[in-house]
Amino acid sequence: MSTKYAPLAADIVRLVGGKANIIEAYHCQTRIRFVLRDESAVAVDELNATDGVAKSLSNAGVFQVVVGTHVQDVFEEVERELGDLSTNAAAHNGAAAAADEASAGKKKNPGTAVIEFVASVFQPVIPALSGAGMVKALLALLVVLNLVSRESQTYALVNMFADAVFYFLPVLLAFTAAQKLKISPILAAAVAAMMLHPVWTAMVAKKDPVSFFDVLPVPLATYSGAVIPIILVILAQAYVERFLTRVVPKSVNLVFVPMLTFLIMGTLALVVLGPIGSILSGYLGSFFGFLSTNAAWAPPLLIGATLPVMVMFGLHNGVAPLGVLQLAQTGKESIFGPGALVSNIAMGVASLVVAFRVRDKKTRQIATAGGITGLMGITEPILYGVALPKRYPLIAAMIGGGAGGLYAGLTQTHRFATGSSGLPAVLLYIGDNSLQNMINIIIALVIAAVVSGALTFLLSFKFEKPTVDNPATEAAPSLEEEAFSSSGRHGSAAASGTTATLVRTETIQLAAPCAGSVVPLSQVSDPVFASGAMGPGIAVEPSEDTIVSPVSGTIAVAMKTGHAFGIKTDDGAEVLVHVGIDTVTMQGAGFHNPLARGARVEAGQRLVTADLKTIREAGHPATVLLVVTNGPKDAPVQPLAQGAVTPGTLIAAVGR
């Protein structure tokens, strides 16, 4: 087995805090996911700068490292590095880890906790659902082409291959839910099997009243393919099993805990929790029916337009299972699948257009590879490597995905099995003895691709700066550190310093470096900055401590005090980020974990944490100043936002 990813795996484990900081590790299609004891121990900036890591982020209590579609290979090496994590997990479950769980709980609101739980339960089952879905799609195609008859034994057997996953879905979900809840997956799967036993299904089919000990009536409900009932059952089983483990003597624990679990949970499952889950599923089915009749256009439109943003915040993990529920209830699905498919194709096409338009070799390679994987349904490499840094492909893809999703919704396009959300997934839309749904989704994909591609191409002329390869052009000098001292001490020197004028007429767009209110540079309290002597720019009165980069580029200058940075963009613009007025006198007090010189930053990436209270108590305005230092001093500044802004919002376009 190849070990080429061993160095990367070792770096990842080290930078997330080492084995001792890792409670659990698993992966999805593009990300390695860690449950950590202390996320503050992660070297985020160094991790993001590691070759082979596209992005790292924390969401819903899980720290995620995006590495791409070869995640399985990297994860195998991570597992080698970690070895046996049982000691860590045991400590996490025991009294010593109670503080860990309590602190983690403080960070999560109920909505976040629900999304995390649902995602962790469904994520491991996705390969089985995808495989079964593709088997069903292939079988539907064979039927449409008259290669297989629905009455044949071949059809029955192949259909059984796929239906087994959906029929026994409660068993699979019981197993994964138990893993998440840290109880016995085998006992959980056994309880789920009780709800699917042929004896029970025969009683339901017979429709005669059933009672337990001639006292407790047992509602007749079918649980094959059900989702909500088994989740309710396993949530209850977690409390029952832990209680029994605690009170049953250790000497007989192995026998009596399973026995009592089966008796208690079997009764609860069939008499109380299962029927409640069935009622909830019925309401959910009515909701899906309402959507299909009255607002079929809405889900594909919303998912198609917003899926990239949902992926960024992990919200898609809470929505995607609704598609599985709808499929289980109605036999077809339109809540998530059509919108996700058109969104992914729109992202893939946008990335390929970027690869065609850019000149930077590394960006072209990332965009090309990401575009291909995007068309196959994996968009994280595009999202973090292309769309977010450049932004205009993200905007174009969201508009294109929304357009394709709207068509899919208006034509009430459904898929008949779950699976990937890439080009091969068009086969999932064959059903009802017709190709109409497949034709509709193909049209929707064409709409998404054309709109996304055209917008990306047009926007690229505005946002992609042409490379000037003119040796006669005067090169801009490097940023001088004394220019980044607050003007209170070095204002005159900075004002008289020389800067070269770039021979360009484009503008550079500056994003908000923090949450706060936009202020014209002319209104700041420092006369040198206000006069424009340092260069044109804009300012923000901050309301939060985190200061992020307003542009993508390389940190050419980083003051040791952490109060100022000089960032050189890929096309040569030099941008000063200055936190506070005369804050050089604070000698670094109030500035925490600044990035170092030479670091690569993307727009929106953290530069430093500035304690606004400390700055203001020291008598300094905390205004964050953004200045383009190597352009014409009188270059026009076009405000792009007013009033309150959030980090990353475009706030000004400065002429160069």
Give catalytic residues, as residue numbers: 28, 578
Closest C-alpha among 278, 271, 393, 408 to residue 342: 408
Backbone torsions φ then ψ of 109, nearest 5 degrees: -85, 170
Q: How far is CA 612 from CA 301, 484, 526, in A?
A: 42, 19, 18
Helix (H, G, I), strand (E, B) or coil at 628: strand
553, containing H or E segment: strand 553-558
- Residue where the block lists tokens 């338009």: 357
Helices 436-463/392-410 angle, 10° precision: 160
Closest C-alpha among 635, 606, 625 to residue 486: 625
CA distance 255 to 240: 15
CA distance 284 to 269: 20
Helix (H, G, I), strand (E, B) or coil at 434: strand
What token pair was written down for 513? 């470096």
Other Cβ atoms less than 10 A from the Cβ of 244: the count is: 17
Q: Is 619 exposed, middle or buried (0-12, 13-18, 19+ CB in 10 A)?
A: exposed
Q: Are 166 and 201 in contact (CB under 8 A)?
A: no
What secondary structure does DSSP assign to 149-160, as a single string? -TTSHHHHHHHH
Q: What is the side-by-side order of every strand in the sheet holding 507-511? A: 507-511, 650-655, 637-639
Q: DSSP assignment, residue 422?
A: S
CA distance 246 to 20: 27
Other Cβ atoms less than 10 A from the Cβ of 644: the count is: 14
